[in-house]
Amino acid sequence: MRPMIAVAAAGVCRRYGRRWALTDVSFELPEGALAMVTGRNGSGKTTLLRVLATAIRADRGTVSVLGHDARRDPETVRRNVALLGHRTHLYEPLTALENLAIAARFLRMDARRPALLVRLEQVGLARRADDAVQTFSAGMRQRLALARVLQQEPRIALLDEPYGHLDAPGSLLVDGVLQALKARGATVLMATHLLQRGRALCDRALVLEEGRLVFAGAPASMPEPEGAGAPGAEGP
């Protein structure tokens, strides 16, 4: 039996002002896939993830998530998708615990301290649970944002540069999170410049160039985007 299509994009275009950030992007991801999208800076990776997450709308084309049209039924799409973006979606003056508690209440999940501490332990932040986010380093914010993605228990996780700002243990933590998401059947699409890491972890790859999808297939046969994956950029 063929696996269900988790994410399908057909002819997706998106522009900012007069500049097209995405042009006619079409692909499908089966449920349970662990995929990477790569390309040079400004190639449209972030825009693609934001369109799939319904944070922004496609100007043309259709996006379907688990069979639900993103334009017609964004609520259902959002219930199944979690986005780790460039911005953390966190309230800076609030503590790590308070940020998770707000999300938990909206998600109608357990917002009590022990349940939230479990999430923070997963990302190594339990000791800083009661500290305001504005006192955190960029890496710690990234970990907390990741904890919020995990909190949503998504069927589809869209991760934009999940290794950004992270030290070596943090990068290993992301590896673990990706494997755990895959193990429980979630579909993951991550934007990354870390080609070696992506090739080792992912079973599918997409390559964008100036907003156009130029490759979709197995990571092993993926062309090396010019200027991507600079030596030394990939940690342990």
Work out the end-to-end distance of the chain between its first and last CA atoms, rounded to an integer number of angstroms: 37
CA–CA gap between residue 94 and residue 109 (Å, rounded):
19
CA–CA gap between residue 218 and residue 103 (Å, rounded):
36
Give the CA dihedral 85, 152, 124, 88, nearest 10 degrees: 20
Least distance to another protein from the beta carbon of 48, Å?
A: 14
Q: Is 57 in the site for another protein (CB under 8 A)?
A: yes
Binding-site member from 39, 44, 85, 229 for another protein (CB under 8 A): 85
Q: What is each CA distance from 28 to 143, 150, 197, 204, 205, in whole angstroms?
A: 29, 23, 22, 10, 11
Q: Is 226 in the site for another protein (CB under 8 A)?
A: no
Q: Is 116 in the site for another protein (CB under 8 A)?
A: no
> Which residues within the stretch 133-172 sit at the binding site for another protein (CB under 8 A)?
148, 152
Q: Which two tokens stand for residue 207?
A: 């390559």
Residues in the chain: 236
Least distance to another protein from the beta carbon of 79, Å?
A: 6
Q: For residues 30 and 62, which CB has a smaller minimum distance to another protein in the complex? A: 62
Q: Is 92 in the site for another protein (CB under 8 A)?
A: yes
Least distance to another protein from the beta carbon of 15, Å?
A: 12
Axis-axis angle for helices 113-122, 96-106 (nearest 10): 110
Least distance to another protein from the beta carbon of 4, Å?
A: 22
Q: Is 54 in the site for another protein (CB under 8 A)?
A: yes
Q: Please report, as ranges, the residues that interact with another protein according to CB under 8 A.
A: 53-57, 74-75, 78-79, 81-83, 85, 87-94, 98, 102-103, 105-107, 132, 148, 152
